[in-house]
Amino acid sequence: MGAGIMGVAVHPGQAGSVHVTKLAQPRPGPNEALVRVRRVGVCGTDTEIINAKFGTAPAGAQELVLGHEVLGEVEAVGEGVTTLRPGDLVTATVRRPDGCPTCRAGQIDMCLWGNYTERGILGAHGYMAQSFTENVRYLVPIPVELEPVGVLVEPLSVVEKAYRQAVLIQRRLAVWTPETAVVLGAGPIGILGTLLLRQQGLQVYTLARTPAPNPAAEIVERAGAHYVSTRQISFANLRDSLPNVDLIFESTGASALAFEGMEALGINGVLMLLSITGGDAEGLVPTDAINRSLVLGNKIVAGSVNAATEDFARGVKRLGQFEHEWPGLAVSLITDRLRGFDDAHRIAEAAGRGVKTVLEFADA
């Protein structure tokens, strides 16, 4: 395709418009690094953008380069960069600030005005290209020994933030020693949440529709958690047999389960909602019973989206702990590997098939 680099893009608002595009050769400016991409994860957000559910091109552009889960290698650095050098492995955060008070305070993930941009999602090109440049403040180093799993840092950062927020919320209690957790959903976020909670010593029940055996169930059970198919036992029946549920992560993308989670939450418990539901589903909800339960049980329901740089850093450390405790388990989340630009048209199809799909770049 001549000079420049290639990337995988869509025309936002046009379903099924995935295509390989030509981009200008990026060059690092002051305080920036040029990163050569090794692999990019594909998630539900990417497939919804491909299906024209949302997604916004950069100002003045007609296409959006996909991808917000990345592992890359620093190729060159610009003037003033002392924290990274060529050859370092990195991942990159996703959201960029809009100047609101919380963004100025360093909490971009808690943006107040909502005018932020997000790489590969809203108003900024993503990482599904041969290379990209980025300010080093948004790059997070990855130890070389974590290269096989480094692409999982971004989805893990989402869970890290949710857990961090839950701990902050529960400072309202003089004592909080959670013992039992429920994770709704066994996609990458749900599985990584399961591993995190198991690593923290909780008994975890991970609920998904598909009966075992399947790759997700195997990972969950190898970590010592309980995999439950809701096709075999309903959430309502399961919760009657559980001890006090201290913490729930909801990551299914089905809003009805959020309300079931409110009913299942135990005394003084906290329910963290991680799903962004893009539909317009409606249903009957036992509002009096849920309200009564939340009030009498001092329970909290909180939403959590995106992640801060500290959550990415925690994710890197946590992956190392996963590797120590369960060698090779985290990498088994990657069930489908696509061959760079040759397989770009198969992204959405592959993402719905296994646990985690990644796009591997041949020149890495």
**How does pLDDT run across 263-298, given as a tens digit for each residue?**
999 999 999 999 887 677 888 889 999 999 999 999
Q: How far apart are the first and last CA of the chain?
A: 19
The confidence score (pLDDT) of residue 363 equals 58
Instruction: Tell me, yes or no, whether 195 and 276 share the same domain.
Output: yes
Instruction: Tell me, yes or no, whether 137 and 186 share the same domain.
Output: no
Phi, psi of 21 (to 5 degrees): -125, 165
Instruction: Tell me, yes or no, whether 16 and 108 share the same domain.
Output: yes
Instruction: Tell me, yes or no, whether 129 and 169 share the same domain.
Output: no
Instruction: Tell me, yes or no, whether 161 and 132 share the same domain.
Output: no
Residue partners of 110: CB distance under 8 A and separation at least 6: 102
Q: Confidence band (pLDDT; 50, 70, 90) for 210?
A: very high
Domain span at residue 25 reads 5-142+329-360
Instruction: Tell me, yes or no, whether 293 and 199 share the same domain.
Output: yes
Looking at the 3D structure of the chain, how many domains does it have? 2
* pTM given for the model: 0.95
Q: pLDDT above 70 covers what percent of the chain?
A: 98
Instruction: Tell me, yes or no, whether 94 and 119 share the same domain.
Output: yes
Section 82-93 average pLDDT: 98
Q: Look at residue 187 and tell me if it is in a domain.
A: yes
Q: Look at residue 229 and tell me if it is in a domain.
A: yes
Section 44-49 average pLDDT: 92
**Is residue 3 scored above 80 in pLDDT?**
no
Section 144-151 average pLDDT: 98
Q: Look at residue 354 and tell me if it is in a domain.
A: yes
Instruction: Tell me, yes or no, whether 299 and 194 share the same domain.
Output: yes
Instruction: Tell me, yes or no, whether 235 and 275 share the same domain.
Output: yes
Section 129-137 average pLDDT: 98
Instruction: Tell me, yes or no, whether 161 and 73 share the same domain.
Output: no
Q: Confidence band (pLDDT; 50, 70, 90) for 353?
A: confident
**Is residue 1 scored above 60 in pLDDT?**
no
- The DSSP bridge pattern shows strands 226-229 and 356-360 to be unpaired
Instruction: Tell me, yes or no, whether 335 and 255 share the same domain.
Output: no
Residue pair 358/40 in contact by the 8 Å Cβ criterion: yes
Calpha distance 102→107 (Å, rounded): 5
* Sheet architecture: strand order including 64-65: 19-23, 5-10, 64-65
Calpha distance 152→20 (Å, rounded): 24
Phi, psi of 158 (to 5 degrees): -65, -40
The confidence score (pLDDT) of residue 364 equals 44
Instruction: Tell me, yes or no, whether 136 and 166 share the same domain.
Output: no
CA–CA distance from 150 to each of 15, 119, 142, 161 (Å)?
30, 18, 7, 17
